[in-house]
Amino acid sequence: MNGKLSKVIVTFILLMLVSFAFVVSQTPKKVSETEIKINNKKLIIKDEIDVLKANTYPKFTPGQQFFYETSLIPISGEGYYFERQEFKVKGIRIINGSRYFEVQRIVDYYIHNPISNITRKIGNRENTWYYHAKNGYCIGKNINPERFSDEDIFSTDGSMFSYWMLGLRDGAKWTMRTITAEKGKREILKTKYDFEVLGRGMVNGRDCFKIKAAITDETTGKVKETRYYWIDVKDRILVKLESYSGQNKNFEINLVRRE
């Protein structure tokens, strides 16, 4: 009797485990959502966190400096526009009990006239960003100087580093979305970023992941920009970025020096 009862119990447990495994396999991927409010607008980032699970951590060292330069962008009647960016790792700061790397970003804007061969500086901007020492998430003071704010959408677009770089692996694919809406009105802009790791290759002497990002206006369904990122496999920082509209190249960003 006890033997038969034991067999029944074991069979029941096995059936429960199989059922649980099936349910889990049918469960949609978890989606994280971050909301940012800027001047009565709302930006929402959604990312497939199962795909982007970090497999390393930020490898910054206080005192490090990274220097980037954009390619020349033609401006009618002016010549060419370009930027130079410098990122300084100022140190480590404790915010709400967590360790963050304090990174200062200085951007200088230039116009180059090929006829006179004169380059003139037309402005600059400074930002301070804080990257979580474990997961790379970014907060900063760009939006409201009185408080820290989530700025991953900005660091994805313009930084040497963004948290998704920590989750890169061969063959990975993921999606990020931004939604902009006026306060009290319907959503007016939806943008989808479809990322895909295409493979690896050497760029400027560094072993890099090559990532393609198709940026789509979800209102029209049209791809408005395609980007290619080359991310250092070891250090997980941007080495090169190329932006295209159709077959036309918009700009290129290169890491030209690090100290």
- Position 219 scores a pLDDT of 79
Tens of pLDDT, residues 182-234: 555 666 667 888 899 999 999 989 999 999 999 998 878 899 999 999 999 99
pLDDT digits (tens, 9 = 90+) for 11-38: 433 344 333 333 233 333 333 334 434 3
The overall average pLDDT reported for the chain is: 77
CA distance 102 to 178: 26
Mean pLDDT, range 159-174, rounded to an integer:
89
Q: What percent of the chain has pLDDT over 70?
A: 69
| pLDDT above 50 for 172 | yes
Q: Residue 5 — very low, low, confident or very high, per pLDDT cuts 50/70/90?
A: very low
pLDDT of residue 150: 61
- Asked if 45 and 153 touch (Cβ cutoff 8 Å), the reply is yes
Q: Which domains does the chain have, with CATH numbers?
A: 30-258 (2.40.360)
Place 9 in a pLDDT band, splitting at 50, 70 and 90.
very low
- The whole model's pTM is what? 0.76
pLDDT band for 66, please (50, 70, 90 cuts): very high
Q: Return the pLDDT at 191.
A: 80
**Residue-level pLDDT at 180:** 63
Q: How many CB atoms lie within 10 A of CB 30?
A: 9
Residue whose pair of structure tokens reads 């704010």 in the numeric block:
149
| Those residues with Cβ within 8 angstroms of residue 123's Cβ, 6 or more apart along the chain or in another chain | 108, 109
Q: Which contacts qualify for 147-151: CB closer than 8 Å, 24 or more apart? A: 148/95, 149/36, 150/34, 150/36, 151/36
